[in-house]
Each structure stands twice: as C-alpha cells, then as structure tokens.
Chain A
C-alpha cells in the first residue's frame, strides 16, 4: 500500500531557480494538502485542494503555486526559490475535509534547501 508518495525526497536549489514537488495518493481521496515544517514551529498549511481542478490558499501561500489536474496528484511549485523557502514539505490527503471520523495521511516529506 503506497498511501501518499512525495517526490523528490531531497533537493538543493539555488536562489531564483524553480522546481515542482509532486504528491501522489492512491486512496481516491478528494482532499489534498501541502504543508511546510520549520524548526521550532508546527506544520503550516500552504495550499490545499478540495477536488480535481480546484485549489485554495492556506496560511502561508506566498511564493508557491499549486495544481490539481488529476485527482490523485497535487503539485507544489516554486517559481523563484528563496532561502526562506528552505524547509521540509509534507503532502497529506484525506477522504473528507471534516476531521471527525476522517484521518489525514501524510507523505514522508521533501527536504528542500535553497542556497
């Protein structure tokens, strides 16, 4: 059972470069999320999607774009990477956006360093 898979697992970027992080889930979940995790802070929501073709901003969306062209994939893009975007990125998915009786499943994370 794959669950939520993130690629790549590690990446080093130079300031100004662009990249795309891929999240894939095989649980037929409608809802998908991108978080970033920084030392001493909890996970913060960047963007999320409530279904194929739809996306919405989370708590810290600036500098990121997302796309959900297929139900099973949620892409996170950095158009012009900045050192402040050095972080560990987690993708998650859930059957429902409501928490009760619904568990969110997380990927293993992508460690991104911007130099």
Chain B
C-alpha cells in the first residue's frame, strides 16, 4: 500500500523550460513534505520542504506547491538546467520523525 506515489517514472524537459514533478499521498495525517534529489552513486540530498500550514514554498529556482484537499504536491523547477538531471523523491511525514518516500521520478534536462 503505497502512501506516497509519484506516478511519472520519468520526465524529459528542454533546458530553460519549466520542470513539474508531481507527488500524491493518501494519508491525511501527513503534515510535512520534503523533496530530495539524487544523482547516481550518491545519497539523496535535501532540496526543499513544505509544511501543511502553507501552500507554497520557494527557494531560488525551486518551488513546492501543496494542495491539501487533493492530497497533492508538486515541485516546479524554473528554468531547468542540465545539472538538474537526477532522480527526485518526495517524502511525507505525519506526527513522527519518520518519512515515507515515493518511488521517484527521473528528470532529464535536455541541452
């Protein structure tokens, strides 16, 4: 039973355009959400977070949007750069110090 789902295994975007990565969750108790980025042969690195009291959080080229009623969050990267090519994981937590991760989306930014 996958509580956090990333339904697009892969995404290709042209350099300079917007990348939109999506994540859906089923547990209404989740109240903190994270995005991680992972390059091959490295561990995931923290990218951006959002709590359920907000619907948007921005950090430079990265913006995360949260739609609580739809149990959906998305990560926008604009403009996309070739160095953004990686696997992106969303993760959710609800009242504990454990995070549940999604299956990941492989982003490829084409030069």
Q: Do A and B come from one complex?
A: no
